[in-house]
Structure 1
Amino acid sequence: MLVLTVAAAVGFRLAVQELKAQVQTALGPRSEVGSLNVTWAGVEALDVRVRAQRDGRTPWPAQDELRADRVLVVPELRALLSAEVRVRRVVVDGGYVSMLRTRDGRLRVLPALTERPTAGKPTRASAMRKVSTRATLPAPPASTPAALDERLPVHLGEILLRGAVVEFFDASVRRPALKLRLEALDAQVGPLDLPRLDTPTRIDLQGQLKGAHRDGRVSVRGDITIATRDAHLAADFAGVDLVPLQPYLIKVADAGVRRGTLDLKLEATVRQQQLRAPGHLTLTGLELDSGSGLLALLAGVPRDAVLAALRKNDRLAVDFTLQGRLDDPDFSLNEDLATQVAAGLAEALGLSVGGMVEGMGSVLKGLFGQ
């Protein structure tokens, strides 16, 4: 029994050392790590940073793509001595992630890790390179598109974020890109099967959306298959400050939001690229700056009519349903949501409006990368 115990312990240490080398490679060419340690729990990386590409034609809007005080990678014991790479859990403490929605609606997350340039296939020797304190990780040779599907599969059981910060930059609504900041984010995501991402992934996150006057609560729960975009997600935005969201609401440059809050409940289902998402939107305490009179539009509805209604009851509620095919180039969640909200507001105000386009659907559309 003692011999078996010692052999198991030695095997565990050797296998975790191999996992350490794999972590070094996975972090990518623009990464820095304060220290990378092997513990009995797994591999612990401290003071992790993935720097953003700040030059070129499309510079990243933040200094870093990723930062973390501590990342713990816990392997699956049964797979340690096999050819499989199976990770039971990744725990990220004090993390920061920046995300970009491009002008054409594409959602980009951690391009240093997911958008490597084409070149030769990574070698095992490159995975064994050592990292010194605060050293920049050497860039492993990248894969060609054909070789991407031939990379060793990696299974991540779950990823836990504790006290994280996410900055979402949306270049589809204005230039420079609008920045929304989510703080105190706790999330549980998994499983993930890389590189194919063709299995359902459970998502459970909650955090605070920063505002000029108050912070709102954000919650997203459900599952999504990233490769196919099949999903069932329930999103809940409560008491969100409208000031940071005004590019989605106000389409006149000299009109702006002084104050107000938004509550939104949305349940989105995607099957075979077909989206159906009923929702309920409530605007409370909305105050607008002076604008262009009847030419200033709130989600496509004349602002004076909206303000007159708000003066009566301080609240407007709208039911809507988003529907369409995500692979249809003529379908835009931006336009569909704005049209639905405009129609709902018009009905509440006794107005007749049609053909209202553009609006505040980009944040929701970012969930699907469209």
Structure 2
Amino acid sequence: MQSLPLLLLVVPILVLANEPPPPESTNVKLDKKTVLVLFGTRHGNRNPEKFVQTPDRNWGQEGELELTSIGKRQAYGLGQEIRKFIGKKFVDPNFLPSQAKFYSSSANRCQMTLQSALAGVYDPTKWADWNKRKLEHWSPVPYTTDDPMLRMYSVKGCVNSDKAWDPISKDTLPDLKELIAKNQALLNYMKEKDGRDASISNAADIADNIINMDFFNASYPDWLKNPTLAGHTAASIRAAFLAFAENHMNRCASYKPCRDMMGGLWANHIISSLEAAASGSSKTKLIGYASHTEVTLSTMIVLGIDKSELTTSAGFVVELRNNTTPAQVRLLQHDPAPVDKHVIYSAHLVSDLASKTDANGWMPLPALKEYVIRSAFSDWEAQCGLDKCKH
């Protein structure tokens, strides 16, 4: 496969420039006493919500907001790295329902991300190798779609989710108002040239277009390639729009009402799964989830991971070992590097949790639970404000 241009490769790094860079390769190993591994991921690279107008667009054929070939490769790379991390014997090379469970948002891009990742985790052999001529290295793997856990913002009638999003969606938070005022000329230029309303979400969608035009080595529209906005060159206007990438999603994760609504149920599921494995009531050894930026990032923050942005196909890994009393957990992160390869490494934790870890990143499970329950919840209907008699 043709290698990607260097400019393309640095795009995700530029977008996440304020985050500590991940290592070049995975620098942690599965503990010999680990009994459960969980991984959560943001979907892989997707198309923007609306394509910029260019005369001969040669990308995005999948459709708006759909997973791209880049995104599928990122997810497959994640799956391969998860398998390398857990090894050949932690779970069988073939999917066995007694060993593993997987969950996805109902969005196509998340389901396809999970499917692609699981193709990297499972390389069927013997009885599971059902079509050697065409599909020797792939076999279908079942999963559950769960929007209350992984896509709360789309749950019909969840009024408290809507309320949490409202000041972000309407740009009424003070910092969002300030961002608009500071960039009014840029936003007005976008409206003049592309026809979109002068909003943060639309500028973020231009950023998504730029990222994918770079990924697919496509031509920019003339208003980006040769900008007429005073004080801007092609390079500076590109950087100005990239600064808006995932703005609302990241702001949700940093705004507690939104963060807790997006990540609280997922975090509760993680803690419950860890406790079940620790008590021996569950024999599941591998659990995987695929979700969205704001949901995955919110959950990571609820778990105590100190992070403010999340690139496509990035997320977290959690290990549980049960050879101590109480059981111990370790929080890790994973990132694409930047497409086909993936890295797993120690998570950067908030001070409340970092102070409770040993030299290898392990902490007592009760310490993690004590931190997480500040934001976690189990009754999603009550959290949404739904009338249970009507649902």
Q: Which has the higher contact order (CA 8 A, sep 6+)?
A: 2
TM over 0.5: no
Higher helix share: 2
TM-score scaled by structure 1?
Answer: 0.25
TM-score scaled by structure 2?
Answer: 0.24
